Structure 1
């Protein structure tokens, strides 16, 4: 973004000096144009004395300045950008982090995107400002279960180094395919188990992906004797759509509640086998065989299961 210069200070500083050159520069944060900049009293070096933070208002730029208070005189200690983006995220504020020493959080949000936001956590140590971590929150406004991904990504980057090196970038949010393992994903379940089965049978994978969706479903509807068959049918539908990870998650939870549910074990074995996790598949098949023999149903065990276990 193009910087908007302060009228009374254009000649004095020009805002073209390096970051380090600003460290002992006397500067009056109150001289910034209030139509363009937000000015906020906040302790930026955590010495118990209120300092000043100045940053561009939404859609007015991306500037960010920290001023330390020394005997009522203000010195520029950090100059950079506030992580706003053209046509994207905008800074909504900066705050001390509650119950965390020496930390600030710069909050940004994406207008019109539901619950999408990025929070940047700044850590002050040994007179240096570090970008400690970012927390990415992504809302899916079109997801039937109101999916929200929250991903914490470590950074540990000196802000002066980041601001002075245009080729340096922060670590981004994990790819969607990795978020089930690396992020916290929440859902607001409002439909029935049968509705889930229908969705899996009729909709694309994106409509029913991630194991955490099924964690939310189980939290909504405990696995009981009344619905265990529905849950097993849901797992079977997931297998048919090659959503093996989700099927395995569901089947393991069924087995946790009903250890003698033979059909859950054969489905679990099939799902593991499809993922080429043969040892886990054989363990599930062996339990299935034992349960079938115990119930006098040995003749119903398929040759395929016996052949796989024998390998």
Structure 2
């Protein structure tokens, strides 16, 4: 006869609860687990009280650790499958899978943990307080990781998946975080921690990444809080004509290479600063790059915007100015002319420099043609 799930769960939980001390602050993990891997404390239930998160094995010869979450003397949930090891394709002696982390964020921000283990705040709706995260770990993968974020659901009396984030690193240059994507409709959405199978989820996320890279799956690119703040500071300094300070702030947008020099703009500018859902922001940053003298960065970013958003008229002007300053006159004139055509009946609002530069090149070519005739 098969026992009901609730009864079988009770057989597991009750012996653990009876072995707990009266005060959670004095919780002795060795009374629950013979091999304790990690103990975390955080208010992941967001109720003003810290929960205790235990990761470890009941028996030393168990293949994978178990994840327990306690509040005071109550077991909120446990997961026996979340931390299942995943066989690594490169080395039979090592395993991939998930690691348990906790993060804390302010309202309207979400914190992720990147491939390097650094916490980064993102401008993304959230809730104030601590969160439970399962971070993917893969041997020989310094390119990306996933953060599976859980929130406590009082109705379900368990943690459920509320966010899935893909964090990518710049492997061509400084190895730092370059972009973060949210998948609101990921295949893992709304799974409970108790039902979460780390081995299955790991493979599902790898498939999700392949679909995303090939354009079969869409995601929302998120902006780091630090980038948002630096942009506002740079814009304010530019409007106040504080050029030295403006130049200094814009320099913070550049990424340094391994040799201490700046990375090539082609290696990171688009991946880091082009936001498909907010091309206006990216255009404005491109304009600020051009105004601060970072011309290759400006041209690289603005070039992507006119490619993906050909109806953004002002971007053609900004891109043309960048090409002109770089000495790429032919491309500059092409962009100026496209800008003029898109302005249509608004040609009276076209800056004088545009007509002057177009006429100058036409006059120059006219003289060249006369000399060869």
The alignment's TM-score, normalised by the length of structure 1, stands at 0.53
Mapped contact 1:232–1:264 kept (Cα < 8 A): no
Is contact 1:255–1:264 with CA below 8 Å preserved after alignment? no
- Distance in 1 (CA, whole Å) between partners of 2:102 and 2:359 is 66
Q: Does 1:105 align with 2:132?
A: yes
> Secondary structure at the residue paired with 1:182?
strand
> Does 1:136 pair with 2:166?
yes
Residue 87 (structure 2) pairs with residue 54 (structure 1): no
- CA 1:130–1:207 in structure 2 vs 1: closer, same or farther (change >3 Å)? closer
Q: 1:20 to 1:131 in 2, by over 3 A?
A: farther
Q: How do 1:191-270 and structure 2 match up within 5 A?
A: 210=271, 212=273, 222-224=289-291, 234=299, 244-245=307-308, 252=315, 254-255=317-318, 264=332, 266-267=334-335
Provide the rounded CA distance (Å) in 2 between the counterparts of 1:125 and 1:19: 18
Partner of 2:196: 163
Matched-pair contact (CA < 8 Å) for 2:286–2:298: no
Give secondary structure in 2 for the equivalent of 1:142.
coil
Q: Does 1:150 align with 2:160?
A: no
Give the structure 2 partner of residue 77 of structure 1: 77
Cα RMSD over matched residues?
5.9
Partner of residue 150, structure 2: 122
Give the 3-state SS of the residue equivalent to 1:297 in structure 2: helix
**Structure 1 SS opposite 2:72:** strand
CA distance in 2, matches of 1:211, 1:287: 34
CA distance in 1, matches of 2:133, 2:298: 46
* Alignment CA distance shift 1:294-1:134 (3 Å): closer
1:26-67 per-position Cα deviation (integer Å, ceiling 9, x unaligned) = 2145331226x334445554555554322248x962532223
1:189 lines up with 2:255 in the alignment: yes
Contact 2:179 2:222 survives alignment (8 Å): yes
Q: Distance in 1 between matches of 2:287 and 2:179?
A: 19
Gaps of 5+ in 2: 20-28, 89-94, 107-126, 228-252, 276-281, 364-373
- Aligned partners of 2:160, 2:195: CA distance in 1, in Å? 9
- Structure-2 change in CA distance of 1:42 and 1:18 (3 Å): farther
Tell me if 1:65 matches 2:65: no
Distance 1:227 1:163 in 2: 50
How many Å separate the matches in 2 of 1:299 and 1:96?
Answer: 57
2 CA distance for matches of 1:76 and 1:233?
52
Give 1:85 shift: 4.0
Q: 2:359 aligns with which of 285, 293, 297?
A: 297
CA shift, 1:23, in A, is 6.1
Structure 1's 56 and 227: CA in aligned 2 closer, same or farther, altered over 3 A? same
Q: Is the 8 A contact 2:64 2:84 kept in 1?
A: no
In structure 2, the partner of 1:3 is: none
**Equivalent residue for 1:95?**
102
Q: TM-score, normalised by structure 2?
A: 0.46
Residue 163 of structure 1 aligns to a residue whose secondary structure is: coil
The answer as to whether partners of 1:138 and 1:149 remain within 8 angstroms in 2 is yes
Query: Which whole-Å CA distance do the structure 2 matches of 1:158 and 1:90 have between them?
Result: 17
Distance 1:249 1:147 in 2: 29
Q: 1:91 to 1:285 in 2, by over 3 A?
A: same
Q: In the alignment, is the contact (CA less than 8 A) between 1:96 and 1:103 conserved in 2?
A: yes
1:309 matched residue in structure 2:
none
Higher mean C-alpha deviation, range 283-292 or range 88-97: 283-292
